[in-house]
Structure 1
Amino acid sequence: MATTTTETPHWTIGTAGDVATFTRVRPAPGGPRVWSGRGLALPEADLPTFGKALGEVMKLPVYWSARARAEDRSAGEQDVWSAPRHDPDDGFVHIAGPCHLPAEEPEAAFTLSLVHVRGLRVRIAAYLRDREL
Structure 2
Amino acid sequence: MKFYIASSFANKQLVRYMSQKLILKKHTQTYDWTKNQRAVTDVLLHSIGTLEKQAVADCDIFLLLLPAGKGSHTELGIALALGKKVHIYSPENIDPATASAFYYLEGVERFNGMIDDFIETIGLV
TM-score of the alignment, normalized to the shorter chain, above 0.5:
no
Larger strand proportion of the pair? 1
Question: TM-score, length-normalised on structure 2?
Answer: 0.27
